[in-house]
Structure 1
Amino acid sequence: MGSCFYRVLLLAGFCAPIFCMWASNPRNRESPQPPSTKGNPAFQVSPSNTKFAFFLYQRLAQESPGQNVLFSPVSISTSLAMLSLGARSATKTQILRSLGFNLTHVPESTIHLGFEQLVRSLNVCHKDRDLRTGSVLFIRKELQLQATFLDRAKRLYGTKVFSEDFSNTVTAQARINSYVEKETRGKVVDVIQELDSQTAMVLVNHIFFKANWTQPFSTANTNKSFPFLLSKGGTVRVPMMHQTELFAFGVDRELGCIVLQMDYRGDAVAFFVLPGKGRGKMWQLEKSLSARRLRKWSLSLQKRWIKVFIPKFSISASYNLETILPKMGIRDAFNANADFSGITKTHFLQVSKAAHKAVLDVSEEGTEAAAATTTKLIVRSRDNPSSIISFNQPFLILLLEKSTKSILFLGKVENPQKM
């Protein structure tokens, strides 16, 4: 290998804008059943992606107590899986194991086939939603990349490749930021604040979601100033949407939390999880998140007439994952032990930065929700014709794409007014 040392800037799924539009025709109230996932390779990577999603969430929540949390698990997983194509030795092993894969039982080829099908499935055109993901490489002009890496990145992940002059950092930064802004419909701007002159390659994975509720809120019913209780004490006034409808709903007795499901038109579903009142209830819920708990929730919810109050809000979150991922086992990729000889044999590469930025808009036009559990859910007594659920305190959100069982977005709303 040559003596030159360059850095890779990994913008791992930093674009996660959600902009939910009001369904003009609220017919077809029943949510469609998800298509069969039997034999779908994308479904085979779903359990590992879900495990990684909750593991990363718990890390991010620990790093930012009392703050909003928001990220796109599927976007970050896809970025790291694509990066592993060019990794070798311990660098590759650490990435794939941290993504939740048991390499003694799941061949690497199966993992990439699963992600290939996942990317294709998520990008299938649907009349009721706009869900688009994509990957792009901005590569230093003089960098000689391995043909095998480029071919697999394009074939398996649909990656676009652009040559870039990183010696002119201002121009390169502007070009990448412009690309991101365009792909996210102007929702994510200036994601790169600074480029290192030693940057060799910028890996970008982006995701954009836009859909309609099957049961939209009416703007006429929105309370313009409603008290929302903060976890650290005090309140903020927020616009509070509400409606009475037939929703899937349940109570997790073990955790004392309420789980509410709301459907989007177009094979996507949102979960809202409201922890019980009392000190430590949110943390108890967060540390209990798992793929098994989420699956139990999904299977146990039952439909009831519910009067629901959900705040109207816009939040965003940005993370420097190079400080988080090493704590999750991806160590060598970010230090001098990095082995990305599958990308280029003429230069030493290591990841200098892994940036992630997510943006979430929730209004009468739509919203998201999060949850998971190992215990069975119960449904409140049928003798109450209309239970009332008010999300007027911190809650979890999760957005799930049904056909691939993929978590598109996961987060926590601590303060609906804080961007």
Structure 2
Amino acid sequence: MASSFYRVLLLVGFCAPMFCTSSNPYNRESPHPPSMKSNAASQVSPSNTRFAFFLYQRLAQENPGQNLLFSPVSISTSLAMLSLGARSDTKTQILRSLGFNVTHVPEPTIHLGFEHLVRSLNEYHRGRDLRMGSVLFIRKDLQLQAKFLNRVKKLYGTKVFSEDFSNAVTAQSQINSYVEKETKGKVVDVIQDLDSQTAMVLVNHIFFKANWTQPFSAANTNKSFPFLLSKGTTVHVPMMHQTELFGFGVDRELGCSVLQMDYRGDAMAFFILPGKGKMRQLEKGLSARRLRKWSRSLQKRWIKVFIPKFSISASYNLETILPKMGIRDAFNSNADFSGITKTHFLQVSKAAHKAVLDVSEEGTEAAAATTTKLIVRSRDDPSSIIAFKEPFLILLLDKNTESILFLGKVENPRKM
């Protein structure tokens, strides 16, 4: 039976965030972007955040001492979209692993929430370029269920292309070229093992480009500043610095300092610096509740900030990770994707994810949290300094949807 299954290749989260000014020519300006508080996207945001930290903790466990970077919202959206064509336990496992209980949140509400989320993220915001999209490359002889095709187009704005997978080399080249174009050249050759058994490739890509509201001066960047790696060795990195009003607090429960910096265009970043020996404690304590507390409790204050200028990237084969998070049947012969097609048996053979992140002088923005005991140092203290000269976490968030666009750990700013 297993030999009769065709492969589905799930390529998610090809992310290319860069921090520099740009308008978005792909989206029309909306004078009143939808608020997360007032639309159906509020039904999916908490679950997406829980899934983000659940996945982060799994990746951190399996990649100790390495840079981590991924796009939670891209992966969640891809899996939710795939669930449209799943049935029985395959569907249940996907939605449950995404943090949804369909007895409390009906499935139509979940997909309506993602529809609003995708639409909101693609709204035009002056000063930033944020695009997220999905595309299906379908085997020419694969007859799709009309309902599935209509729903992925309507709810997720998915583009659909017919592809000749019998010529795997040509198909691979065409899909790689599409991804490279959509990420403006940041992600290349993402597929390297396409074969003729592939029946469908689902790609979700996200591109982010924005400026800090309080940019650093390149003239002040220290070209060679010591950064202490977790292994105890030191590398020298370009270190940006400035003194400015930023959201800041100390979370004593997790033993970390939290800095909030804002981007133009309703986006923000949290830089989280654990105390000595507290990285594992911080990682284990990450949660949607903790993020809400930070978002409500940080206070603006004058502070001298040192942040390395860096570029990092990371790639993951999620087919080895997602089954450990509960999505098992999608990747084996028990897969039930009869909602996609009834003429072929489908199972997911690969779920690839690649992310790229550049941080430089031009960009940043912020947000904060409450209820946790966050300590803010005296505003009159001229010695308020936070220096990210050891491994730290970074979260990039969209304010309107309260979605984590990118989540990562910088273990070594010199390692691409």
TM-score bucket of the superposed structures, by smaller chain: over 0.9
What is aligned with 1:29?
A: none
Q: Return the alpha-carbon distance in structure 1 between the equivalents of residues 36 and 366 of structure 2.
A: 23
37-46 or 190-199, larger mean C-alpha shift: 37-46
What is aligned with 1:240?
A: 239
What is aligned with 2:25?
A: none
1:6-405 paired onto structure 2 within 5 Å = 6-13=6-13, 15-21=14-20, 36-277=35-276, 279=277, 281-366=278-363, 375-405=372-402
Deviation at 1:239, TM superposition (A): 0.2
> Are 1:10 and 1:204, in contact at CA under 8 Å, matched by a contact in 2?
yes
CA RMSD of aligned residues (A): 1.9
Q: Return the alpha-carbon distance in structure 2 between the equivalents of residues 233 and 386 of structure 1.
A: 27
Deviation at 1:11, TM superposition (A): 0.4
User: What code does the residue aligned with 2:109 have?
Assistant: T
- Secondary structure of the residue aligned to 2:341 is coil
> Are 1:261 and 1:269, in contact at CA under 8 Å, matched by a contact in 2?
yes
Q: 1:389 to 1:413 in 2, by over 3 A?
A: same
Deviation at 1:383, TM superposition (A): 3.2
Q: 1:374 to 1:96 in 2, by over 3 A?
A: farther
Q: Return the alpha-carbon distance in structure 2 between the equivalents of residues 413 and 372 of structure 1.
A: 22
- Secondary structure of the residue aligned to 2:36 is coil
User: Which deviations, in whole Å up to 9, do the C-alpha atoms of 1:269-317 show, x marking residues without a partner?
Assistant: 000000001x3x1000000000000000010000110100000000000
Tell me which of 386, 403, 413 is aligned to 1:416: 413
- Secondary structure of the residue aligned to 1:326 is helix
Deviation at 1:365, TM superposition (A): 1.8
- Secondary structure of the residue aligned to 1:38 is helix
Deviation at 1:403, TM superposition (A): 0.5
Q: Return the alpha-carbon distance in structure 2 between the equivalents of residues 213 and 259 of structure 1.
A: 17
User: Which deviations, in whole Å up to 9, do the C-alpha atoms of 1:243-272 show, x marking residues without a partner?
Assistant: 000001000111221000000000000000
Q: 1:203 to 1:243 in 2, by over 3 A?
A: same
> Does the alignment pair 1:5 with 2:2?
no
**Which structure 1 residue ranges, 5 or more long, are not aligned?**
24-33
Q: Return the alpha-carbon distance in structure 1 between the equivalents of residues 178 and 37 of structure 2.
A: 36
Identity of counterpart residues, as a percentage? 86
- Secondary structure of the residue aligned to 2:270 is strand
Q: Return the alpha-carbon distance in structure 2 between the equivalents of residues 144 and 51 of structure 1.
A: 36
Deviation at 1:174, TM superposition (A): 0.3
User: What code does the residue aligned with 1:336 have?
Assistant: S
Q: Return the alpha-carbon distance in structure 1 between the equivalents of residues 85 and 15 of structure 2.
A: 25
Q: Return the alpha-carbon distance in structure 2 between the equivalents of residues 265 and 167 of structure 1.
A: 46
User: Which deviations, in whole Å up to 9, do the C-alpha atoms of 1:100-144 show, x marking residues without a partner?
Assistant: 001110000000000000000000112211000000000000001
Q: Return the alpha-carbon distance in structure 2 between the equivalents of residues 3 and 59 of structure 1.
A: 31
Q: Return the alpha-carbon distance in structure 2 between the equivalents of residues 192 and 89 of structure 1.
A: 30
User: What code does the residue aligned with 1:395 have?
Assistant: F
What is aligned with 1:31?
A: none
- Secondary structure of the residue aligned to 2:205 is strand
> Are 2:245 and 2:303, in contact at CA under 8 Å, matched by a contact in 1?
yes
User: What code does the residue aligned with 2:50 have?
Assistant: K
Q: 1:35 to 1:7 in 2, by over 3 A?
A: closer
> Are 1:369 and 1:397, in contact at CA under 8 Å, matched by a contact in 2?
no
Q: 1:371 to 1:331 in 2, by over 3 A?
A: farther
User: What code does the residue aligned with 2:8 have?
Assistant: V
Deviation at 1:370, TM superposition (A): 11
Deviation at 1:4, TM superposition (A): 4.0
> Are 2:267 and 2:366, in contact at CA under 8 Å, matched by a contact in 1?
no
User: Which deviations, in whole Å up to 9, do the C-alpha atoms of 1:47-106 show, x marking residues without a partner?
Assistant: 000000000000000010000000000000000000000000000000000000011100
- Secondary structure of the residue aligned to 1:299 is helix
> Are 1:122 and 1:133, in contact at CA under 8 Å, matched by a contact in 2?
yes
403-412 or 1-10, larger mean C-alpha shift: 1-10
- Secondary structure of the residue aligned to 2:115 is helix
Q: 1:168 to 1:36 in 2, by over 3 A?
A: closer
Q: 1:385 to 1:7 in 2, by over 3 A?
A: same
Q: Return the alpha-carbon distance in structure 1 between the equivalents of residues 140 and 2 of structure 2.
A: 17
Aligned residues: 406
- Secondary structure of the residue aligned to 2:38 is coil
Q: Return the alpha-carbon distance in structure 2 between the equivalents of residues 369 and 331 of structure 1.
A: 37
Q: 1:35 to 1:348 in 2, by over 3 A?
A: closer
Q: Return the alpha-carbon distance in structure 2 between the equivalents of residues 230 and 372 of structure 1.
A: 28
- Secondary structure of the residue aligned to 1:213 is coil
